Amino acid sequence: MEFIDKEPNPFLATVGLRVEPAAFGSGVEFRREVELGSMPYALMRAVEDTVLETLGQGIHGWQVTDCTVTTTHSGYWPRQSHSHAVFDKSMSSTAGDFRHLTPLVLMDALKQAGTTVYEPLHRFRAELPADALGPLVPVLARLRAVPAPPVTRGGVCTVEGVIPTARVHELQLLLPGMTRGEGMLESAFEDYRPVTGPVPHRSRTDRDPLNRKDYLLRTLRRVDGGR
């Protein structure tokens, strides 16, 4: 969480968030441990909208789903101005303060909660000459496929199992060469499973709140440029 008017928070906003896992397929749920009237609804909405936007890239550049995000702290400076003067942004909180601060707070909450990257799986069914099974087995292992015990009838071997969706095309390309052009492959989406081994990262398209220094430079430059 980060508090208004306290270093290192440069924004006129207090935001505290907690992230917890939710049931598979449940999506993102918002909860509040602060009173709805503790600050204007537009500022609350700015936090929630920004949370959804930021979850689109998460810690590793992939969308974060199936979690509960709870607002634990909130605070703002009400609209005010110097005597006999117009509205002064430097003295008053705006939705922009909350939109800029929320990604930083959310990323800290995600780090504390921990995230798991899942990958899509396809179920596959391959038919091939029985004598081609030997060369196929190490290829399936390399592609991180998990096959069931093969079934052989009349010189034709059938292998079923699951394989990461990203490796299906590679298997399609390799199968003809391993089976003298006699192999057949069918596949369809099956499920998701946690990624094993190094977690894949996707390049970010936002201002990267994981890099606080650069994020603040880019954000504050944008704010100053808009005045």
Over the stretch 137-173, which tens digit does the pLDDT of each residue have? 999 999 999 999 999 999 999 999 999 999 999 999 9
Work out the pLDDT band at 225, boundaries 50, 70, 90: low
Percentage, residues of the chain above pLDDT 90: 83
User: What is the arithmetic mean of pLDDT over 194-208?
Assistant: 90
Average pLDDT of the chain to the nearest whole number: 91
Residue 97 pLDDT grade (very low, low, confident, very high; cuts 50, 70, 90): very high
Measured CA to CA, the distance from residue 119 to residue 107 in angstroms comes to 21
Asked if 192 contacts 119 with a C-beta cutoff of 8 angstroms, the reply is: yes
Q: So what's the pLDDT on residue 89?
A: 60
Say yes or no to pLDDT of 55 above 80. Answer: yes
> In sequence order, which residues have a C-beta less than 8 Å from that of residue 131 and are 6 or more positions away?
none
pLDDT > 70 in the chain, percent: 92
More confident call, 190 vs 36: 190
pLDDT for position 227: 45
User: At what angle are helices 95-113 and 41-55 packed, to 10 degrees?
Assistant: 50
Give the other-Cβ count within 10 Å of 196's Cβ: 9
Look-up: residue for tokens 């270093």?
Answer: 7
Residue with tokens 């509960």: 68
Helix 168-178, helix 133-142: angle, nearest 10: 160
Residue 3 has pLDDT above 60, yes or no: yes
The identity of residue 111, as a single letter, is K
The 3-class secondary structure across the chain, one letter per residue, is CECCCCCCCCCCCEEEEEEEECCCCCCEEEEECCCHHHCCHHHHHHHHHHHHHHHCCCCCCCCCCCEEEEEEEEECCCCCCCCCCCCCHHHCCCHHHHHHHHHHHHHHHHHHHCCCCEEEEEEEEEEEEHHHHHHHHHHHHHCCCEECCCEEECCEEEEEEEEEHHHHHHHHHHHHHHCCCCCEEEEEEEEEEECCCCCCCCCCCCCCCCCHHHHHHHHHHHHHHCC
pLDDT of 84: 52
Domains and CATH numbers, the chain: 14-116+210-225 (3.30.230.10), 118-194 (3.30.70.240)
What is the per-residue burial (b if ≥16 Cβ within 10 Å, else e) of 57-76?
bbbbbbebeebbbbbebbbb
Question: Whole-model pTM?
Answer: 0.81
Across the range 48-66, mean pLDDT stands at 96
Using pLDDT thresholds of 50, 70 and 90, give the confidence band for residue 198. confident
pLDDT at 86 over 60: no
